[in-house]
Amino acid sequence: MQNISLRANAKLNLFLKINGITNFGYHDMTMINQSISLYDDIKIKKMIIKV
C-alpha cells in the first residue's frame, strides 16, 4: 500500500481535571469528552529514499 487516507474525528472536552502524576510520570486525569461532527483529513504517502 502506497497511500493511506484517514479521518481523525474531533472531540470536545466538556470536563478535564488533572488529579496528579502517576509513578510512570504520566498525568492522572478525569475527563468527559463529546465527539463532534468536525474532523481532519490525514493523508500519508509512502516514500522510498535511496541513499
pLDDT (tens digit, 0 to 9) for every residue of the chain, 51 residues total? 689 999 999 999 999 999 999 999 999 999 999 999 999 999 999 888 898
Closest residue by Cα to residue 5 from 32, 39, 36, 35? 39
Closest residue by Cα to residue 41 from 8, 2, 1? 8
Strands (E), 1-51: 3-21, 27-45
Q: Which cell numbers in the block locate residue 40?
A: 481532519
